[in-house]
Amino acid sequence: MSLRWFPILLVLMLAGCQGRSTPADKPGLPPPPDVAAPPPDSLKAPSGLSTRVLQPGTGQRHPRTSDTVVVHYSGWTTDGKMFDSSVQRGQPAEFQVNGVIRGWTEGLQMMVEGEKRRLWIPEALAYQGQPGQPRGMLVFDVELIDIK
């Protein structure tokens, strides 16, 4: 398989976890109180991505698009439905920064190791209405554990 397909496969792998992260006998994590919309004090990028630092990091370096990162994350739709969570699975995710949806790529590059940040990702920076994917704005809590 050609390496040019690698970023697409990573996105599909991350998206493929949808629905499996919260078995019927294990409830999802509660949504953040501001899941419906970014609060006025969030940082809004020209792209439409909004973010807010939940916990400052301890690192100095920001990941580049070519870096591989280790993260814990949970994702919700704006109606509060959790659709994916490495926290729920108890296993951090590892992927290349440019191998995920555009909102993640942009948001991760703002972070340093140890930082926790909430991302409000508009649909244009997420799955863009792809069948079988969450629609509309998505909200992720992301903890950047390591940059490799």
Contact 120, 50 (CB under 8 A): yes
Is the CB of residue 7 less than 8 Å from the CB of residue 98?
yes
What is the signed CA dihedral for 82, 83, 88, 91, rounded to 10 degrees?
-150
Separation CA 17–CA 91 (nearest Å): 12
* pLDDT tens digit sequence for 45-56: 999 999 999 999
Q: Are strands 43-44 and 68-77 parallel, antiparallel or unpaired?
A: unpaired
**Domain positions in the chain:** 3-147
- At residue 28, the pLDDT reads 81
In the predicted model, residues of the chain with pLDDT beneath 70 are: 1-27
Residues 10-27: pLDDT tens digits?
443 444 444 443 443 456
pLDDT at 76: 97
CATH topology of domain 3-147: Chitinase A; domain 3 (3.10.50)
Task: Tell which residue, 102, 104, 101, 92, has the closest CA to residue 148.
Answer: 92
Q: Which of 58, 35, 43, 76 is nearest to 115 (CA)?
A: 58
